[in-house]
Chain A
């Protein structure tokens, strides 16, 4: 069974640009989560999508946004990039948004903002 996939692996942008990161969940999973892992800040929750709807978002500014497509894949958009947006962005999926469901993570996209 294929795991969570993310693209691209690496992304280099300059300040003020926009970045788009993509995630394909495990087949059969309807929930997708996005996390940011920045140096010194640990793992921070960004967004949760389930059945095409945004269910919850973490404490991030509105320039972090995303969507979930009918096939349950998802993309994360970061507008007006800032240097501190440089981080590993991790996508996870789960069977549903159930409390006991396990989240399975992809390999991540390393975003570097110059």
Chain B
């Protein structure tokens, strides 16, 4: 079965410091990976995705993610954190089902709360 794990419930970072939010995945076949951010009482905003190609994916608001096939990881990074980055971050993988066909939906991790202090 496909799954996504976000091992940290919360990440605390000082403003201006680099940040990393971790994600590992388990899929059969090639993974289709996504990062979303959710601000309080809001829907999810798309940040970036990995489909194929370059292992370093650049996304919105200065975020990037590094795909590592050997470690089955897709960590979200930003070189310099802002207080406004404080939010809930979700990693997701496309559900490819038991036979490798897209089921349409995304499977989400439980989320990591990022807190950036001034």
Chain B nearest CB from A59 CB (Å) reads 11
Nearest neighbor of B100 in chain A, beta-carbon distance: A99
Residues of B within 8 A of A43 (CB): 90, 106, 108
CB–CB B95/A45 < 8 A: yes
**Given A42-B111, A90-B43, A90-B44: A105 touches B105 (CB 8 Å cut-off):** no
Q: Determine whether A15 belongs to the interface, using a CB cutoff of 8 Å to chain B.
A: no
Kindly state the separation between the CA atoms of A45 and B95 in the bound complex, as whole angstroms: 10
Q: What's the dominant secondary structure at chain A's contact region?
A: strand
CB pair B44 A100 closer than 8 Å = no
Tell me the A49-85 residues at the B interface (CB within 8 Å): 50, 55-56, 58
Q: Which residues of A contact B (CB under 8 A)?
A: 4, 6, 31, 33, 35, 42-43, 45, 48, 50, 55-56, 58, 90, 92, 97-100, 102-108, 110
